[in-house]
Structure 1
Amino acid sequence: MQRRPVGTRRKALSAVIVAVLLAGVTLAFFWPGVASYDSVVQYQQVLRGQYDDWHPPAMARLWAIFHGLGWRGQAPLFVVQVLLYWSGLALFAGALARRRQSIAALVVLLLGIWPPVLGWQIAVLKDGQMAGAILAAVGLASWWRLDDRRLPLWAAALVLVLLGYATLVRFNAAFATVPLAFGLLGGWRWDRPRFQLVLVIAATGAVIAVLAPINQRLLQAAPSGVERSLPLFDLAGIAHHAGPQAVPQVPAKLWRRAEAKGCLTPILWDPLGDDKACGYIVDTLQRAAPGARLRNVWIETIATHPIAYARHRIAHWNSEMRLWMPATMPGTGPLARSEPNTLGLGSPDKRVNGFQKLGYTLASSAAGAPILWFAAAFGVLFCSWPARDGAGGVAVTLALSAILTELAFGVVGVASDYRYHVWGMLAAGLALLAASGTRPSPNRVLVAVLGVAAVAAVVIIARWVLPPALPPL
């Protein structure tokens, strides 16, 4: 086996050391992390020792272990997700540096401190746990896969554990983790790419199907009815586009009242779940279609009004991806303070305010639009498929993970919070950097660049001409 030059090993070690220093700076600067409303609710479950599946019980169970050891507050999970985050970036950057891609390795580290991403990563949420675990898995696997080498058994097992945890902390994480498991552990079979893509989609559906039994039986979380939010959101959207008669289970006057109050919004479903806003819609539907009947009503309504459903889902995906949307949208800026609480969940020092404000500014800009990163992932896939070497395989795998993650919001998304896109944006960026070590066709590169530029132009024009979005009730 040919030994690597000493210079490349030093570059790889330098990249890892810089990432370790950045991890230390992140922990010190943002300590003890931000506890959002969801964090507070989940910590209450930890204190009571009673869990439900509205928030991921796998994350709460991990939190409870630290709590039982005497490490209170949000700090332990903040440490976990920051260390996972930077360890993944360290290994990915080190692997690129070892391949003599020093500039790409540097950009990996710059991507790690990109304020819209890092600003959300310091919030103790399922999104941060998911992104950290996936990044650690990707970095570990890429240490070998970028050089087209198979992982040692212990590394493959650890990658599976990390991807498994990421899958458990977000119900839609399977759209990201399943293609990663295929691509990073087994490698894509380029002689049958269509078959393997179908296999990935089928496996993703199977994984999602077993999440509820795992949460409720294995992790002993009480059912919360979280699965009803998607049907409720879709029924409201259909009623908005097709008229109140499309969902006769709710009287037309109630739909009209909700419409007048602005509760039927494509941005998120929350007003429908708020008793003070439009909770009467949920109450009425629960009486008219209790339990599993709601699912039947949902499917029948979609089948009866497919155009209205499609318009609703497209409007929501546009809102999620911030394509033809104004710059100012709710749920964009990373949090600087924890939700007020009496549980001992503190906040970082006020010094973080400037960084988080910069994160909001950049996230609201065209460069921060998730659709632009999504377009970049498509460009990488277009230029690199089918891959012929390890770097190309990693690039394709990451691009597919980003694309499937973001496309899934068009079907299962119910809110437009920016934090949902942290992994998709990271995956697109890392895919582009991995692809920089390959030699794609210049014609394909030109087409990809023009496509991304066209998307950027649409986003810029939208930011220029559209008024700020009003926050939902």
Structure 2
Amino acid sequence: MKNSITTLKGQSVHKRYLNLIGLASIIFSVASLVAFYPGAMTWDSMDQLRQARTGEYTDWQPPAMAFVWSLLLNLSDGPGGMLIFHFMLLWATALILFKWCAREEYRFGFLFLLLPVLPWILNFQFTIWKDVGMAYAWGLAIAICIYFRGQEKFPKAAAALVMALFIYGSVVRSNSLSAGVFLMPFLAISIFKINTIKSTVAFMVLGGVITVLAHLSAGALLQAKKTHSVAYVMFDDVIALKLRGVNVPVNFLTPEELTAVEHCEYLNTHEMGAAFCLSDEQFTSITQERFPDLKAAWLETVPRHISVYASFRWNAFLNLIRLPSLPPYYYTEFTVKKPPFSVGTENRETSKSEHLVNKFVTSSAKLIPGLFKPYTWLIVSITLMIYFQLSTVFRGTSFWLLPMSGLSYVLAYLPITPAADLRYAYWLCFIATLSLFAFVNIRFQGKTHQRFI
């Protein structure tokens, strides 16, 4: 009896200690938010803020995020409102999953409180990017589903919020379809308690339809100007073929522009991102006035040289996932601009707090570089997906759809890899981490939870 009481007291102290670690992470996260407020920005962010301020939208960036941003400008004339919105989504995800673990008496619930301070999530956390918005909106949708999936009836208000978060996450990233078709079945199975092969396939189709219709509706309702964003990928393709000896008609380039591209150090290093070899004005001209010529060149050459094209795209994808021989690339972004937060605005002077957070992330990347490379999270996702399917604890559940969503998202970059930036795999890193923490809590609880479907 005495030994039993001692054991219970020891477990209580251990649990309290772990929860204090989680609390400390939230405090660190809040302090970091204060340090980086109103948020880090790049050209993409500033372009979306410009659209939010003017109410004139283009489809180069998904206009839905700029529209939501325009509403948040009533709270803060700058990036601050959107930064707070993203943090609310992230904190809600962490706290709901922690509360779920506490209710189920899982021992490692504190791991979810660490989500906001993990260096491979903290690295882009302050950047106002659509990648971040999609990850955090979908993360909260997953958290709500996990929390309520054990109940006999899923609350209608919670189900409505889940669908709203799914749609928002879908429309803020133009390539969200590849991830959404696997995420929707997990959400729908959680809500409707139907888990069969037929229902999973049906929900996948439903997710695809909702995503496509949401994108089309957002563009039409906001009257987004057509900008031929596909030109970015087309330009990479035809330039890659040209540099590999294929006879490509390049009448969409001036001789000076062609010379600049051929001698571009960025392109020679990364094999993609040819648009960065030209000025904004030059590339905008290609996407607008000269787009028909670019499109004609792509249609004429790519289908006839598919092996060369496939080789280029495969190498570009390997460059993105950063195999062990390659160092992490563009894995942080902490640049905070001065008002008015527009193109050409100077950067704000870095504070000691900002430097500390930046140092934490960069030191982590030097210590464990694999955590900042997509290939690591691809391996984690594949391993989790297989385990969720084979384990007696998870067999028959829909948890395998979570890592599958991240896996599918990154694999979809095979034909369209735009750069080697880690931001393009942010959803993979986020959902793989969340899935891993769920696995640890359920698997090492020591009992099978049949009510998880």
TM range (shorter): 0.7 to 0.9
Please give the per-residue CA displacement for 1:440-466, whole angstroms capped at 9, x wherever unaligned: 9xxxxxxxxxxxxxxxxxxxxxxxxxx
Matched, 1:166 2:166: no
Q: Does the CA-based 8 Å contact 1:184-1:397 persist in structure 2?
A: no
Question: What is the alpha-carbon distance in structure 2 between the residues aligned to residue 306 and residue 343 of structure 1?
Answer: 43
Superposition RMSD in Å: 3.8
Count of residue pairs the alignment pairs up:
421
| Post-superposition offset of 1:37 | 2.6
Distance 2:102 2:258 in 1: 58
Query: Superposition pairs for residues 17-416 of structure 1, below 5 Å?
Result: 18=23, 21=27, 24-67=30-73, 69-103=74-108, 105-145=109-149, 147=150, 151-186=154-189, 192=197, 196=200, 200=204, 206=209, 209-210=212-213, 213-241=216-244, 243-246=245-248, 258-262=261-265, 264-265=267-268, 267=270, 269-272=272-275, 274-276=277-279, 279=282, 290=292, 294-295=294-295, 297-327=297-327, 329=329, 331-335=330-334, 337-339=335-337, 342-343=340-341, 347=348, 349-363=351-365, 365-385=369-389, 393=397, 395-416=399-420
Q: Which amino acid aligns with 1:217?
A: A
Q: Which runs of 5+ in 2 are unaligned?
A: 1-10, 445-453
Asked whether the equivalents of residues 234 and 298 of structure 1 are also in contact (C-alpha less than 8 Å), the reply is: yes
**SS of the counterpart of 2:414?**
helix
Distance, in Å, in 1 between the alignment partners of 2:268 and 2:282 is 14
- Range moving further from structure 2, 259-268 or 230-239: 259-268
Deviations 1:281-316 (A, max 9, x none): x867977761xx755653553322222122111111
Question: What is the rounded CA distance, in whole Å, between the counterparts of 2:288 and 2:304 in structure 1?
Answer: 21
**Contact 1:237 1:265 (8 Å CA) reproduced:** no
What does residue 450 of structure 2 align with? none
More moved, 35-44 vs 247-256: 247-256
Report percent identity of matched pairs.
22
> Match of 2:434, as an amino acid?
L
CA change 1:339–1:315 in 2 (3 A) is farther
Indicate the larger mover: 388-397 or 373-382: 388-397
1:102 is paired with a residue of what secondary structure?
Answer: coil
Q: Is the 8 A contact 1:167 1:173 kept in 2?
A: yes
Structure 1's unaligned 5+ residue stretches are 1-6, 441-473
Residue 464 of structure 1 is matched in structure 2 by none
Deviation at 1:246, TM superposition (A): 4.9
Distance (whole Å) between structure 2 residues aligned to residue 185 and residue 209 of structure 1: 18
2:122 is aligned with what amino acid?
L
Aligned residue identity for 1:170: R
Counterparts of 1:23 and 1:149 in 2: how far apart (Å)? Answer: 35
| Counterpart-to-counterpart distance in 2, 1:288 and 1:58 | 27
Task: Give yes or no for contact 2:78–2:340 (8 Å, CA) kept in 1.
Answer: no
Code of the residue aligned with 2:270 in structure 1: it is I
Q: Report the TM-score when normalising by structure 2.
A: 0.79
The change in CA–CA distance for 1:412 and 1:210 in structure 2 (over 3 A counts) is farther
User: Could you tell me which residue of structure 2 aligns to residue 471 of structure 1?
Assistant: none
CA distance in 2, matches of 1:89, 1:117: 13
CA contact (8 A) 1:237 1:266 kept: no
